[in-house]
Amino acid sequence: MIGSSVGRSMGKPEYLQFDIDDLAAVIRESIAKQNHDDNTAPGIVSSPEQLQASPELKLQPEFEPRSNNRYHINDLLRYHDRAFVQNAYRAILKRSPDATEQARALTILRGGRLNKIDLLSSLRFSTEGKAKGVQVDGLSLPAFVRRLGRVPLIGYLIRLAITLVRLPNVIRDQRQFDNYVVSQNQLIADFINTITPRMSEYGARVSQLETTTSKQLEVSQTMTRELRAIAEELKVIREQYELLEHTNNAHFDNLEQQLKTLEIRFDKNVQTRMEKEGAARQYEILKQQQLIKATTEDLRAEIERVYLQLKHDRATSVDLPMPKVHASTETHRLDAMYVALEDRFRGSHEEVKQRFEVYLPYLKQTKALLDAPLIDVGSGRGEWLELLKEQDIKAYGIERNRIAIARCRARGLEVIEDDAIVHLQGIAAEGVGAVTGFHIIEHLPLDTLVHLLDQVMRVLRPGGLLIFETPNPENVVVGSNFFYLDPTHRHPLPSQLMQFLFEYRGFHRVEVINLHPWDSGRVAGEGELAERFNGYFFGPMDYAILGWKVEP
Amino acid sequence: MRILITTVQVPFIRGGAEIHAEGLRNALCEFGHEAEILAIPFKWYPPERILDHMLACQLLDISEVAGTRVDLVIGLKFPSYLIPHPNKVLWILHQHRTAYELWDHPLSDLVYYPNGTEVRDVIRQADRKLIPRAKAIFANSRNVAERLKKFCGIDSTPLYHPPPNAERYYCSTVEDFLFFPSRLCIPKRQELVIEALAQTQNSVRVLFAGVSDQPSYANKLMSLARKFKVHDRVEWLGPISADEMRHRYANSIGVIYPPTDEDYGYVTLEAMLSSKPVVTCNDSGGPLEFVLDHKTGLITEPTPDALAAAFDLLWENRAEAKAWGEMGRVRYESFNLSWEHVVNKLLA
Amino acid sequence: MGARGKQVTGMKINWFSPLPPATTGIANYTQGILPALTTQADVTLWTDRTGWDPTLEKYAWIRHYDPDRMDWVELNRADLSFYNLGNNHLFHAAIWQVSRRAAGIVVLHDFRLHDFFECLYRVQWRDADAYLAQMERQYGEEGLRAATEFVNARKGDYDLMAQRFPLTPLALENSLGTVVHTREAFEELKTAKRFAVVYAPLPAATLVSQRSLSVNRASNPYGLIIFGHIGRNRRLDAVLKALSELPNRDRFRLDIYGKIDDEKTLRQRVQTLRLEDIVTAHGYAPAAKLEQALSAASLAINLRYPTMGEASASQLEIWSHALPTLVTKVGWYASLSEETVAHVRPEHEVEDIRHYLESFLADPDRFARMGERGLSLLQQQHDPDAYVATILSLVSNARQLRLRKAAYDMARRAGVLMRAWAPNSDDASRSVAEKIHAMTAEPGSL
């Protein structure tokens, strides 16, 4: 009664037949077909289930060797650090540097003893370089001048001349470098941004599982809670993971450990559940367990991959300081020296206090301060706290320098001895009206800084304010000299970088205020040159960056 | 005779199969034949690539070379044993295992592909139809022969061969360690051994020799050892020379070899040659053809506590361990494993 | 766990289909054959929705899936997968996607799938280019041109496109075989070599007469009934026109059950034609109420024009009430015998409907007999057990179906590779074909 081609009787249905002629016909047809879409064509097509690969993090452009053996010097100068050394060797000597050569070149470059041009010319005019005969346009003149500069007697004069002649270039280089740093950070940020949705996708996967489970299993309520906790923990892991770009091995191990505990917890949970449940439920749970496992595996693989990538890229890009998140801080031996240092270089008590007045209007706008205190991180000599006290704004400081603390307390100011982050971690969310920090962030490794931002974000009331003040590297003298007067400074923080970080960590209405131009040092005269010169050398020496926590 | 041995090669990877093929070639040459190894490349993913390789093998013509006849072809590995020849003998090392006993198994890859079933069915069909075209069919071990029978209904004769340089193995003064030589990989189950160590009564020490296919796996094993707090009782020798290998065999209390459903496994034989007892598991396949429980070694459940008990037993009863080892050596001799025997069988 | 215990055959099936309470006949179809199917095989129902009628769990495992994250292992554990495809992209998109990756049997509920693919690409995925590309791939330049015009037109002619470019091959190209419910589809597809084509008439939900004996069929006036989703293809206009032209239309009452696409126009039309006393639109009716209405009716009107080549589950339902029916003489309906239905020619709709209504008044018994014959046809040809037997015969031949498909795919890939170096030589093609055949064909077959 069934259709003709299939019988209910035994015997092979005719639809199973195929013969050599049929196959040969298919082959011929396939040969004959021109320009056709073999890829979209059907058949056994397998793209196995793979995680869509994340975009690769590339901090420097790819180097492409030229077949005509001719480069312009700028083709090579645009690389930095390790990539520069690698590419210089590949271009000029047509090989990669061995480990020793690379290490030596990097030491020299990073130490500032020779610059990139020196390195290029030494390669180009070495015996090996001459033999290869690669032409680098734009190299010979600067190289010649640089060589002259190393001749002892006239060297000093030459170097002076070079410095003067190259001043605009130096400035440009400095700016380029700033931009470079910013753009690197941007790249990292973009990368993290693309990763983040993936991570929430994992979270979503977990919560989707959660939904199915709760629908099917009454008993699974406990499990649902467990899943939720896992989703939470995944979130926490994700947050930590975002810090991975600067984290160290220990941190990573820790993450892995957490993932493991999660897995173990989950396994245990499922097992106890399974004992109590019927076969049908076991089946479902098993499936879900597999999924979670797969998800966790994915997550782990992802983290491992990103971590390796970052490690690799960190190795090949600018040397970022290796962080020590919670370094032992029990040495107070140098406290007295820092106090003296600050006394000497930051200006008199009254001067400093007066400088702080610029912030008062911002505090007045901050309604969150009406019923919540201000915390000044690294309150130092306490001028700011004093000013706040005069203004009747409830505030206290956090400081680790015991001499500074003693001084402040002597003047009736409230200062707590603690590490800023540790302190902030210990207080309730949304309990603070404003946080300020003057000349502290340049002392912090980048990951600590980000951590600090996050903690501030957590403790601030909605509408709360964060102010940091830091030396302005846009002023060449500050960036190249003054900044280093304080040996505990890490690296200059361009305002663009800070602005980015603020925004990236969720602050709104981020504002940069340039402060303290060195007016008395200005070169007299009108005209663009004077303007630019004054701008670079005597422009604002500090800047403040302000950000607000969004009000709902 | 002019003989071609067909096998496959996964470029840059070398293991037991390569040694096996070379051993056979050397033996054939020694017995006066002109023999060469013909290795075709093999790639097993995406799965349809397997089918393409099978087809490619079938399209090859090795019946003669430059006008001179190839007298005999000995096919060793899938899919090279599909290369047609009028006078073909198969000595199957193993079939494509993920289409058979490893199909729905944690080690499988094929089952994870949407077209996995399709490819599995074609592999099985081709084996079933084309293997019997050979004049004679031998299997590398009883285990392989049994699978061939079970899945394809094809009868074959197990044909054992000696491990390379069998004559150089010896036994020497026992030192305080068990020896586990193998590539570091999941099927060999080093992880299980580490877990077992955490449960031994005695402070049992294990020396692992061998490298990992992926560095990350070696790291994983090491951190596992740390996790179970047995890291000071294990030693990772990494890649060691054949001399050192024999030396370690010779000085060990016993040899650990608990892989998952191994086809054959030289380790068992090398341990027996070194007069050492072998600890293996009841799902380890090949080793079970040689090891006699409580006579030449120990066969346990594949669980950490069962293995731990076995380790303790050897550790505490050195005399018995020694006796079992010697019994193993005697048993090895009884198999009469020699290339001469192999060559006679294949050329019969 | 119900039927799950009965693994007489040891067969295991993946079944991809919309599931109740999804409002599609295909969900009901699946529900209908499930009891018979699961007595012989272990069935896993795969759904991309989160809700389903829990009574299904008595018969089968239910698994939720996401086409982008398929558990291929689980899929590979079964003997064969079945993919139910119809024209509604909301219900069948995910199913089609999986079927593209893992070859199985496609159950074609509509023979023309142009609507499905057009909506999938253009509406759901917002990718008109992909639609155009597929049209070009399947129908060459002509297809591309028509599709481009269609995309650019403000109001394209869906029906014409579906007739000319059904796009059905796109649903079948990775299949091991297809089950079709109409002769028409079978005739069109049977020459395909790469996959099996099996004709199995749509199974009836039940073979027992559904006519409620407690409900009397009204004879004065006679009840006419139209039910289902009432779109423009249900030809309501023509029915109303014919009724209005009928001198003794007072002897009929027309009841319309189901959602009406354009209810306002219908009401206006009814008013204009002065049919308010005769025509009642009831809207959606629960099953029990519809059953009662069918039992009370004397003649069903089940017109479809145009048709997507589907077999009509509602026709089976009408027959199960032993009701005579007016159907359009097109597609599957045209293949029905004059003994069991009355055919309305699409080009003479009003004329034919009027004619049948008049004949009905003249000889209602003749029509009643037509309904009885419909019921017995249903019992003979639309037996769910026979349908299930067909499905299971495919499962028991799954291995060979896969071998055959793999063979064709290998041949195609070989051809693609040979294109680079082989002139189209018969010898080369044939020797490769022989080798492929040697690997895949059953021993003994040519």
Q: What is the pLDDT of residue C145?
A: 94
Residues of A in contact with B112 (CB under 8 A): 48-49
Enumerate chain A positions whose Cβ falls within 8 A of a Cβ in B: 43-49
Do the Cβ atoms of C383 and A41 come within 8 Å? no
Residues of A in contact with C400 (CB under 8 A): 12, 16
Strand partners, A71: A136
Return the minimum-mean-pLDDT range out of A220-229, A449-458, B106-115.
A220-229
- CA C65 to CA C54: how far, in whole Å? 17
Q: pLDDT tens string for chain B (348 positions)? A: 999 999 999 887 777 788 899 999 999 999 999 999 999 999 888 899 999 999 999 999 999 888 889 999 999 999 999 999 999 999 999 899 999 998 988 778 898 889 999 999 999 999 999 999 999 999 999 999 999 999 999 999 999 999 988 999 999 999 999 999 998 988 899 999 999 999 999 999 999 998 887 778 888 899 999 999 999 999 999 889 999 999 999 999 999 999 998 888 899 999 999 999 999 999 999 999 999 999 999 999 999 999 999 999 999 999 999 999 999 999 999 988 999 999 999 998
**Would the pLDDT of C406 be above 80?**
yes
Residue B107 C-alpha, separation from nearest chain C C-alpha, in angstroms: 12
Q: Which residue of B has its CA nearest to C68?
A: B114
Angstrom CA distances, C349 to C107, C236, C273, stand at 32, 11, 17
**ipTM for this model:** 0.78
Do the Cβ atoms of C438 and B112 come within 8 Å? no
Do the Cβ atoms of A49 and C429 come within 8 Å? no
The most confident of the ranges A155-169, B214-228, C422-436 is B214-228
Residue C437 C-alpha, separation from nearest chain B C-alpha, in angstroms: 10
Q: What percent of chain C has pLDDT over 90?
A: 57
Residue C97 touches partner B, C-beta closer than 8 Å: no
Q: Six-digit token pair at B269?
A: 């034989």
- Residue A467 C-alpha from the chain's centroid: 21
Q: What is the dihedral of CA A546, A549, A551, A552, to 10 degrees?
A: 150
Q: Is the peptide bond before B46 cis (omega within 30 degrees of 0)?
A: yes
**Which residues have a Cβ under 8 Å from the Cβ of A84 and sit 6 or more positions away?**
A76, A77, A109, A116, A119
Across the range C148-153, mean pLDDT stands at 89
Q: What is the pLDDT of residue A307?
A: 54
Q: What percent of chain C has pLDDT over 70?
A: 95
Q: What percent of chain B has pLDDT over 70?
A: 100
A44: nearest CB among B45, B112, B118: B118
Task: Count Cβ–Cβ pairs < 8 Å, chain A vs chain B.
Answer: 21
Q: Which residue of B has its CA nearest to A46?
A: B46
In terms of pLDDT, which residue wins out, A201 or B36? Answer: B36
Residues of B in contact with C436 (CB under 8 A): 55
Enumerate chain B positions whose Cβ falls within 8 A of a Cβ in A: 45-48, 51, 112-115, 118-119
A460-471 and A540-548 beta bridge pairing: antiparallel
Burial class (CB in 10 A: 0-12, 13-18, 19+), C376: middle
- CA B287 to CA B141: how far, in whole Å? 10
Subunits adjacent to chain A (3 or more Cβ pairs under 8 Å): B, C
**Would the pLDDT of A100 be above 80?**
no
Subunits adjacent to chain C (3 or more Cβ pairs under 8 Å): A, B
Residue B264 one-letter amino acid: Y
Radius of gyration of chain B measured on its C-alpha atoms: 21
- CA A288 to CA A201: how far, in whole Å? 16
Q: What is the pLDDT of residues C274-292, one digit of tens each?
A: 999 999 999 888 888 888 8
Per DSSP, B293 falls in state B
Residue C5 C-alpha, separation from nearest chain A C-alpha, in angstroms: 12
Helices (H), A391-442: 402-410, 420-425
Query: Average pLDDT of chain A?
Result: 69
Return the minimum-mean-pLDDT range out of A23-32, A263-272, B237-246.
A263-272
Q: What is the pLDDT of residue C405?
A: 93
Residue C186 touches partner A, C-beta closer than 8 Å: yes
- CA C298 to CA C23: how far, in whole Å? 27
Q: Is the peptide bond before A473 cis (omega within 30 degrees of 0)?
A: no
Return the minimum-mean-pLDDT range out of A343-357, A531-545, C223-237, C284-298.
A343-357
- CA C440 to CA B120: how far, in whole Å? 12
Residue C440 C-alpha, separation from nearest chain B C-alpha, in angstroms: 6
Angstrom CA distances, B13 to B18, B43, B107, stand at 9, 12, 19
Angle at C40 between CA C37 and CA C42, to 5 degrees: 80
Sequence-separated contacts (24+) of B343-348 with Cβ below 8 Å: B343/B27, B343/B28, B343/B31, B345/B138, B345/B157, B345/B159, B346/B74, B346/B89, B346/B91, B346/B136, B346/B138, B346/B159, B347/B1, B347/B72, B348/B136
Residues of C in contact with B52 (CB under 8 A): 410, 413
- CA A117 to CA A140: how far, in whole Å? 10
**Which residues have a Cβ under 8 Å from the Cβ of A71 and sit 6 or more positions away?**
A91, A134, A135, A136, A137
What is the enclosing helix (H) or strand (E) of A513? strand A508-517
Residue B235 C-alpha, separation from nearest chain A C-alpha, in angstroms: 22
**Max CA distance (Å), chain B:** 68
A23: nearest CB among C101, C383, C433: C433
Q: Which of residues 218-247 of C touch A (CB under 8 A)?
A: none
Do the Cβ atoms of B104 and C413 come within 8 Å? no
Angstrom CA distances, B253 to B34, B203, B279, B320, C149, stand at 43, 14, 11, 10, 83
Mutate one of C76, C401, C446 to test the B interface: name it (highest B CB count within 10 A).
C76
Half-sphere exposure of A237 (CA within 13 A, CB side): 26
Do the Cβ atoms of A26 and C415 come within 8 Å? yes
Q: What is the pLDDT of residues A454-503, one digit of tens each?
A: 999 999 999 999 999 998 888 877 777 777 777 778 888 888 889 888 98
Enumerate chain A positions whose Cβ falls within 8 A of a Cβ in C: 1-6, 8, 12-13, 15-24, 26-33, 37-38, 40-46, 49, 211-212, 215, 279-280, 283, 287, 290
Do the Cβ atoms of B115 and C102 come within 8 Å? yes
Question: Taking a C-beta distance cutoff of 8 angstroms, is the pair A494, A475 a contact?
Answer: no
Q: What is the pLDDT of residue A481?
A: 75
Helices (H), C41-122: 72-76, 89-101, 114-118
Residues of B in contact with A44 (CB under 8 A): 47-48, 51, 115, 118-119
Across the range A212-240, mean pLDDT stands at 55
Q: What is the pLDDT of residues A286-335, one digit of tens each?
A: 566 666 666 666 666 655 555 555 555 444 433 333 323 233 333 454 55
**Would the pLDDT of C1 be above 50?**
no
Residues of C in contact with A279 (CB under 8 A): 1
In terms of pLDDT, which residue wins out, B152 or A338? Answer: B152
Q: What is the dihedral of CA B288, B289, B293, B297, to 10 degrees?
A: -80
Q: What is the pLDDT of residue A149?
A: 54
Q: What is the pLDDT of residues C289-298, one digit of tens each?
A: 888 899 889 9
Residue C397 touches partner A, C-beta closer than 8 Å: yes
Residues of B in contact with C438 (CB under 8 A): 58, 126, 129-130
SS3 B300: strand
Do the Cβ atoms of C389 and A27 come within 8 Å? no
Per DSSP, A63 falls in state P
Residues of B in contact with C76 (CB under 8 A): 104, 111, 116-117
A48: nearest CB among B46, B51, B118: B46
Q: What is the pLDDT of residue A326?
A: 32
B125: nearest CB among C70, C431, C440: C440
Return the minimum-mean-pLDDT range out of A112-126, A261-275, C205-219.
A261-275
Residues of B in contact with C443 (CB under 8 A): 129
Q: What is the pLDDT of residue C358?
A: 94
Across the range A94-111, mean pLDDT stands at 74
Q: What is the pLDDT of residue A294?
A: 65
Residue C33 touches partner A, C-beta closer than 8 Å: no
SS3 A229: helix
What is the enclosing helix (H) or strand (E) of A545? strand A540-548
- CA A429 to CA A461: how far, in whole Å? 8
Any idea how long chain C is? Answer: 446
Strand C252-257's sheet: what is its strand order? C279-283, C252-257, C222-227, C299-302, C325-328, C342-344
Q: Which of residues 186-245 of B touch C (CB under 8 A)?
A: none
Residue B48 touches partner C, C-beta closer than 8 Å: yes
- CA A241 to CA A238: how far, in whole Å? 5
